Amino acid sequence: MKQYRVLIDAKDEKGLVYKIASIFYKHELNIMSNNEFVDKDNDKFFMRSVVEGMVDADQLEAELEAVLPEDSSVEIVKAVKKNIILMVTKESHALGDILIRYEAGELDANILAVVSNYDLLEPLVSKFNIPYITVSHEGLEREAHEEAILKALGQFKDVDYIVLAKYMRILTPRFVEAYEDKIINIHHSFLPAFIGANPYKQAFERGVKIIGATAHFVNNNLDEGPIIAQEIKHIDHAYGWRDMQRSGRDVEKIVLSRALKLALEDRIFVHANKTVIF
Amino acid sequence: MKQYRVLIDAKDEKGLVYKIASIFYKHELNIMSNNEFVDKDNDKFFMRSVVEGMVDADQLEAELEAVLPEDSSVEIVKAVKKNIILMVTKESHALGDILIRYEAGELDANILAVVSNYDLLEPLVSKFNIPYITVSHEGLEREAHEEAILKALGQFKDVDYIVLAKYMRILTPRFVEAYEDKIINIHHSFLPAFIGANPYKQAFERGVKIIGATAHFVNNNLDEGPIIAQEIKHIDHAYGWRDMQRSGRDVEKIVLSRALKLALEDRIFVHANKTVIF
Amino acid sequence: MKQYRVLIDAKDEKGLVYKIASIFYKHELNIMSNNEFVDKDNDKFFMRSVVEGMVDADQLEAELEAVLPEDSSVEIVKAVKKNIILMVTKESHALGDILIRYEAGELDANILAVVSNYDLLEPLVSKFNIPYITVSHEGLEREAHEEAILKALGQFKDVDYIVLAKYMRILTPRFVEAYEDKIINIHHSFLPAFIGANPYKQAFERGVKIIGATAHFVNNNLDEGPIIAQEIKHIDHAYGWRDMQRSGRDVEKIVLSRALKLALEDRIFVHANKTVIF
Amino acid sequence: MKQYRVLIDAKDEKGLVYKIASIFYKHELNIMSNNEFVDKDNDKFFMRSVVEGMVDADQLEAELEAVLPEDSSVEIVKAVKKNIILMVTKESHALGDILIRYEAGELDANILAVVSNYDLLEPLVSKFNIPYITVSHEGLEREAHEEAILKALGQFKDVDYIVLAKYMRILTPRFVEAYEDKIINIHHSFLPAFIGANPYKQAFERGVKIIGATAHFVNNNLDEGPIIAQEIKHIDHAYGWRDMQRSGRDVEKIVLSRALKLALEDRIFVHANKTVIF
């Protein structure tokens, strides 16, 4: 018995569920879980099914493609570990949260490396026997620095996701394109509020009564990529911006780890700069 | 074009989705929304689909029944207004929340009457031109009082739901059986904590840091019926039990109204003293 | 025995608490509750004490002023009902929530009138025997319309707060100045995100995973006044903007009512476009 | 300049604030932060002040004691690191969360050791150069096992707190008395619901729509000690008990770490089986 995740992203049309269910039924697949969503505004159909049975993955994919509208995307994923690379700067909370889950075997992932522009977190990462690569930005133009990072990343094949676990530098379009829809960032505000640098300072200045964090895919517009998950925390007038920062870390790390888990389980579809999450 | 809610509660078996989708496809029904859940522990399949098309409701029901396992329940609901009766005692917040929604046309329901053991809320209810029936419990045994209420309710036909919007008396099994799975209560605690009388006092005594409310169907065990919705609110040591009560009202009314809306939209399935909610 | 709320807003300096406590002690005042906050960035001291005793209000105020730094503000408030005016447009949820609380005697306020640019909500308001004043904006320039509203408001003396319970028009500086720090608005987003028109549409376009509401004092910059309270609600990809709107109403009304209650109890201090809330 | 936390737990009486403030004023102490609470039901006054100045701690304590009612407790704490011991069984999430914070220097604590009835988490703990002591319960009566643990703990002097970071065995009164008001536990439910073993299974059976976690001091009644912090998470019908367990871990670890932080900062007062938290 094999188990697959069937991921379908298609133009919506009448009968899709029937056609897909027919194929599952013909192969006597056991449907372990099933989620569908029709985006009526964009005429799109999304489906994630976990099926179990004797069918061959390539054959299943071919048969599904044959009944779906043109330009549909069908992916049959075996639930294997994905390869991820973490990028960090100086703060350890989001990184640490991922490392502890990793050590506990909670993540369906191999952490290939942790990349940073500082060597500060090397002692922590090395405890977990994960390669730590420091690419200092000192004395380098942004482009040259990124070139060096890309080169360092280049040695790793089949990278599924790059997780910016509080990597505090802006990525250039060149970098983003190299890993399109594969970079997950945690931003320390409830976007679209407080885009850019020092969101906690911005939040303090504005006198908000909540702070938050947003996990999102990175695109070429700063903090404007498709949002995966968001969470907030209530605060009051007694919070200085450093209190917000301290206290916001728990929100940040939980939201990032939640988004990472969704990605590793192939639960996220991206369309029109938004996510559908099953 | 007709629109129906198709509600299916069946023993789970392979091919159910295929068989149901085939019937929808044959009749060229447009699936407006679709939710399924398989309860693997209990081998149960639940589905709620909103479909649009030209088919006759009785025919659709018959065809679905023909392909589903024995003992399945199929219901085809036209989205018409349901008939509800509210029961209250002295507090107006939950009642008022429903009345304001009612007046705004937000509820797919006719409020046939408000029944109370006090006349205190009559002035409020009469503003909305809804019959208010006082059945005082003074001088009556519990059974005699309920008999009187049941008699008062008896004049209303086709009651879909009885909503206990802070009705503060315990119902006897006789009453509960008369309206099985049709009575929705709001209990002012996060059940199963603080069952019974004065949950806020109990919460105060225990020194909890959260208070809450639970909307549930009423069965014969006090506060142990199937839970529909729950919500909480953070409190601190400065809250006396009356502060909890005051502050908990917002949670109570929102949770009850949310549960009522779910019921009116046929989004709740009950099985094994739990709810599946779409 | 008299009970007062003592509200102090002063430049911070060493010994303030001692000096104030000395005066309370001298008059044998019983301190029912006490809150202080020192804003170290701005060198400000805020205090709200509820005291009980035999002292005369004017004398207490004079004595406190004598020991506080220059430019301090001392206010001795008897807990009497405040006068409020509500302004609405077409939606009834925030208005209705206030009316139900009002009817229950939960608000320490007199609602002098409800003012609207439509007559739509008159039937609801008239149930509660509150004057409803329609000032249509049709055919009027913004200034002329506001002039008419200001004239209508002018007949009411001693207005403590104007509550914009989903009043959907932007107020001009002239209006805001006439009721400085007295206008409370509910904005249907977690500010500073989605300022301006149609925040739910903006939220839908952005693909956020939370929606929210913000109660704030109105100043001359749209949606940029001091924030009093904020709350959010989780949503997912299945929410169209109308679903957000429907579902956001519960957040809006609860947040506005909470802010109003804080104002009525003199729990809000405003400084540097922020609020201190006790 | 010295900085102290002044912790006062006294019988309430008129003039307390004045008397305390007089002493602070006399010594020209700078009040960095101040919190008071009067528990009127129990006639109790609690205060936590952070003061800065030149006074000697013993003198300050003596002067405060002189003006406070008999049986008052005054503690002058220098903000030094506290000594803590962690106890765990098999799960690493709560432990890991504390270790990462520890490594980041976020905790004002020395972790003297981690004690467990299994050696399973030794590899994780040893990464952080913290002694790991396995005291297996195999083949031992509860009393004998605890005796062995107490002996192991006995080698550590000045233990301020014992943190049960998912230690899954019930402690006997002998143990609890040895570390009265010093043992902090995390229970994986919103107490008082689901006391005892397998709260997630209990929650699943009951069909609740929220799960939660409670950090509390341990007393001799299982899960009935003073509550420090509670948090919840919404779930739905699709959650099996293992999903609840997995998903509840984030709540557990954050609540425990929050409670630990409150304890380390001397922000918790215990009275009448409840906590006052500043």
Number of other residues whose CB lies within 10 A of the CB of residue D5: 18
Interface mutation target, options C37, C210, C235, chain A, most CBs of A under 10 Å: C210
Cross-chain CB nearest to A25 (options B15, B24, B31): B15
Both C143 and C12 in one domain: the answer is no
Mean pLDDT for all residues in chain D = 96
- Which candidate from C21, C28, C234 shows the least CB-CB separation from D21? C21
Query: Is pLDDT of A80 > 90?
Result: no
Q: Check whether A35 has a pLDDT greater than 80.
A: yes
pLDDT-derived band at B84 (thresholds 50, 70, 90) equals very high
Asked if residues B35 and B48 have their Cβ atoms less than 8 Å apart, the reply is yes
Binned at pLDDT 50, 70 and 90, residue B222 comes out as confident
**Six-digit token string for B263:** 């019921």
Q: What is the pLDDT of residues B174-186, one digit of tens each?
A: 999 999 999 999 9
CATH number at residue A26: 3.30.70.260
Which pLDDT tens digit goes with each residue over B162-211? 999 999 999 999 999 999 999 999 999 999 999 999 999 999 999 999 99
Determine the 3-state secondary structure of D236 from DSSP: coil
Q: CA dist D55 to A96, D27, D60, Å?
A: 41, 6, 7
Mean pLDDT for chain B overall: 96
| Chain C residues with CB-CB distance to D33 below 8 A | 38
pLDDT (tens digit per residue) in C24-45: 999 999 999 999 999 999 999 9
- Does the structure show a pLDDT above 80 at B152? yes
Question: Average pLDDT, stretch B235-239?
Answer: 97
Q: Are strands D109-116 and D82-88 parallel, antiparallel or unpaired?
A: parallel
In DSSP terms, which residues pair with D234 in a beta bridge? D210
Residue B154: predicted pLDDT? 95
Mean local confidence (pLDDT), D184-209: 97
Taking the C-alpha atoms of residue C176 and residue C180, their distance in angstroms, rounded to an integer, is 6
Is the same domain home to B158 and B223? yes
- pLDDT of res. A248: 98
Asked if residue D34 lies in contact with residue C16, where contact means CB atoms within 8 angstroms, the answer is no
pLDDT of residue C100: 98
Domain edge (last residue) among B48, B78, B108: B78
Average the pLDDT over D256-274 and give the result: 97
pLDDT attached to residue B1:
86
Sequence-ordered list of residues with C-beta below 8 angstroms from that of A34, at least 6 positions apart, any chain: A47, A48, A49, A50, B17, B36
pLDDT attached to residue A222: 84
Distance CA C276, CA C48 (A): 11
Gap between the Cα atoms of A65 and A276, Å rounded: 21
- Which chains does chain C touch, 3 or more C-beta pairs < 8 A? A, B, D
Question: For residue D201, is pLDDT > 90?
Answer: yes
- pLDDT at C182 (0 to 100): 97
> Is the Cβ–Cβ distance between D55 and D2 less than 8 Å?
yes
Each residue of A203-235: pLDDT tens digit? 999 999 999 999 999 998 889 999 999 999 999
Question: How many domains, in total, are found in chain A?
Answer: 2
Q: Annotated catalytic, D223?
A: yes
Distance from CA of A117 to the nearest CA of B (A): 40
Q: Which residues of C are catalytic?
A: 223
Q: Are residues B93 and B228 in the same domain?
A: yes
Q: How far is A172 from A6, CA to CA, in rounded Å?
A: 33
> Stretch B14-25: mean pLDDT, rounded?
95
Cβ–Cβ gap A18/B18 under 8 Å: yes
CA pair distance A249, D257, nearest whole angstrom: 12
Strand ranges (E), C21-63: 30-39, 44-53
Residue C237 has its nearest CB partner, among A37, A230, A237, at A37
User: Tell me, what's the pLDDT at A11?
Assistant: 97
Reported for B193-201, long-range contacts at CB under 8 A and 24+ positions apart, including other chains, are: B193/D190, B193/D191, B193/D192, B193/D193, B194/D192, B195/B222, B195/B223, B195/B224, B196/B222, B196/B223, B198/B241, B200/B241, B200/B242, B200/B244, B200/B245, B200/B248, B201/B241
Say what the pLDDT of residue C253 is.
Answer: 98
CB contacts, 8 Å: B88 with chain C: none
Q: Is the pLDDT of residue B79 over 80?
A: no
Q: Is the pLDDT of residue D175 over 90?
A: yes
Residue B109 β-bridge partners: B82
Residues of chain B neighbouring C96 (CB-CB closer than 8 A) = 96, 99-100, 103-104
Write down which chains contact chain B via at least 3 CB pairs under 8 A. A, C, D
Same domain, C87 and C73: no
Question: CA nearest D93: which of D258, D251, D262?
Answer: D251
Could you tell me if B51 and B148 lie in one domain?
no
Under 8 Å between Cβ of C115 and C87: yes
> Residues A29, A110: one domain?
no
What pLDDT is attached to residue C220?
87
Residue D44, both tokens: 């109790």
Neighbours of chain A (3+ CB pairs under 8 A): B, C, D
The pTM is what?
Answer: 0.97
- The pLDDT of residue A92 is 98
Average pLDDT of the residues in D55-61? 97
Residues of D in contact with B244 (CB under 8 A): none
Cross-chain Cβ contact B226/D207 below 8 Å: yes
Mean pLDDT taken over chain A: 96
- Give Dmax over CA atoms of chain C in angstroms: 63
Average pLDDT of A10-29? 95
Domain end marker among D60, D78, D96:
D78
Question: Token match 């904005």: residue?
Answer: C187
Final residue of a domain: which of A18, A47, A78? A78
Chain A residue with minimum CA distance to B28: A14
Distance CA C55, CA B84 (A): 56
Q: Tell me: do D122 and D225 sit in the same domain.
A: yes
Q: What is the pLDDT of residue B80?
A: 85
Which member of B9, B97, B223, B266 is catalytic? Answer: B223
Here the CATH number for the domain that contains residue D170 is 3.40.50.170
Question: Does the complex come out with an ipTM higher than 0.90?
Answer: yes
Same domain, B183 and B268: yes
Share of chain D above pLDDT 70, in %: 100
Predicted local distance difference test score (pLDDT) of residue A220: 87
Q: Tally C-beta pairs within 8 A across A and C.
A: 76
What pLDDT was estimated at residue A74?
98
* B176 and B234 share one domain: yes
**Residue D71, pLDDT score:** 93
B59 and B102 together in one domain = no
CB contacts of B18 in chain A (<8 Å) are 18, 21-22, 24-25
Nearest CB neighbour to D17, from listed C14, C15, C21: C21
**Which pLDDT tens digits describe chain C residue by residue (278 residues)?**
899 999 999 999 999 999 999 999 999 999 999 999 999 999 999 999 999 999 999 999 999 999 999 999 999 998 789 999 999 999 999 999 999 999 999 999 999 999 999 999 999 999 999 999 999 999 999 999 999 999 999 999 999 999 999 999 999 999 999 999 999 999 999 999 999 999 999 999 999 999 999 999 999 888 999 999 999 999 999 999 999 999 999 999 999 999 999 999 999 999 999 999 99
C121 lies in the same domain as C143: yes
- Give the structural domain span for B140: 82-277
CB-closest option in A92, A99, A100 to D104 = A92
pLDDT of residue D1: 86
Of the candidates C273, A24, D11, which has an alpha carbon nearest to the alpha carbon of residue B15?
A24
pLDDT in tens, D100-151: 999 999 999 999 999 999 999 999 999 999 999 999 999 999 999 999 999 9
Is residue C139 domain-shared with residue C181, that is, in the same domain?
yes
Picking from A146, A219, A231, A127, the residue whose alpha carbon sits closest to that of residue A176 is A219
